Structure 1
Amino acid sequence: MTNLRVGSAFDAHQIQPGKPCWIAGILHPDFDGCEGHSDGDVVSHAIVDAVLSACSLGDLGSFVGVGRPEYDGVRGVQLLGELRGLLTQHGHTVVNVSAQLIAQTPKMAAMREECEQVLSDALGAPVSISATTTDHMGFTGSGEGRAAIATALVELA
């Protein structure tokens, strides 16, 4: 029997005018960000949930809690770093993660490599990023929000 496990996750946030736009670990200064207790980085959040799912360690809410003041505005890359520490405590290893942004903005092509590097460095494992739109359908297509999906492959201790 193998110790490899797969986890998948979805995250979505409404766009909040005036909030800084953190997506996939980097600031996108030309766009409004997403609301949320943290930085609203849907890509980072989906990655955290996918890894936790693969490890049977709960989800983002059980990992950092909801409404804790010390996490007000916390960056997604900080959450990935804390997740890395938790995995180390359990002896688990992330093999790789694939994540996809579902949104009209920002366009990812020009910054994909930077995002992948920032997220990979924070998690300590290879992260690949892709992006798509919904051809102006639904809340992501209308520009009301952004979403992300992620799949993680983890080797359990």
Structure 2
Amino acid sequence: MYRIGFGIDFHQLAEGRDLVIGGTTIPHHKGSLGHSDADVLLHAICDAMLGALALGDIGMHFPNNDPAYKGIDSKILLKKCYELVQAKGYSVVNVDSTVCLEAPKIMKYAPAMREIISTLLQVTIDDISIKATTTETMGFAGREEGLVAYASVLLTKTGTPAA
């Protein structure tokens, strides 16, 4: 049995913040603004996995007003979301994702991102797709006010749910 999930996440860009995408810190004069490290890609993947199994969304599991998650590394959130998936008796087949931002160009960092995500989700690097696009200077992403990531995840039933 298969389940498909879709996730989307947005974050503002601000001076004085790190730009963390896919578990990788990317040099840039602006970074993502958020309660955690604001990793837009990992958050979208979390939502896709949770949505595939009707487990709510990342904000339900890790509220942005909970001090326990202030500044948390989103790799920890992705790992915890995957544990929820595994507890339901599922595993990841593949992830397809797109990050939308005007600058900086991020594709040279994609291999590192794919490696991090594949390790956390216990799949091969070939099971993780990361694409990047701009909005041709239109909208909030085009004005470099923010960025967005989209992710689709395919899950497969691998066992019985944990009791």
TM class, shorter-length: over 0.9
Moved over 3 A (4+): none
TM-score by length of 2: 0.90
Partner of 1:138: 139
Please tell me whether residue 107 in structure 1 is matched to residue 105 in structure 2.
yes
The CA RMSD measured in Å over matched residues stands at 1.3
Give the SS at the match of 2:28: strand
1:86 aligns with 2:84: yes
8 Å CA contact 2:64, 2:70 repeated in 1: no
Q: Match of 1:15? A: 13
For residues 45 and 83 of structure 1, what CA distance do their matches in structure 2 show? 10
| Separation of aligned partners in 2, 1:10 and 1:109 | 19
Q: Which amino acid aligns with 1:117?
A: E
8 Å Cα contact 1:95-1:153 kept in structure 2: yes
For 1:6 and 1:43, how far apart are their aligned partners in 2? Answer: 17
Indicate if the aligned counterparts of 1:84 and 1:124 stay in contact, CA closer than 8 A: no
Sequence identity percentage: 37
Partners of 1:44 and 1:76 within 8 A in 2: yes
Tell me, in whole angstroms, the C-alpha distance in 1 between the residues paired with 2:67 and 2:155: 30
CA distance in 2, matches of 1:31, 1:93: 37
The farther-off stretch of 81-90 and 43-52 is 81-90
| Residue aligning to 2:155 | 154
SS at structure 1 position matched to 2:80: helix
CA distance in 2, matches of 1:66, 1:112: 27
Q: 2: CA distance between counterparts of 1:49 and 1:81? A: 12
Q: Distance in 2 between matches of 1:35 and 1:123?
A: 25
Which letter does structure 2 place at the counterpart of 1:123?
L
- Structure-2 separation of matches of 1:41 and 1:34: 7
Q: TM-score scaled by structure 1? A: 0.93
Contact 1:39 1:73 in 2 (8 A): yes
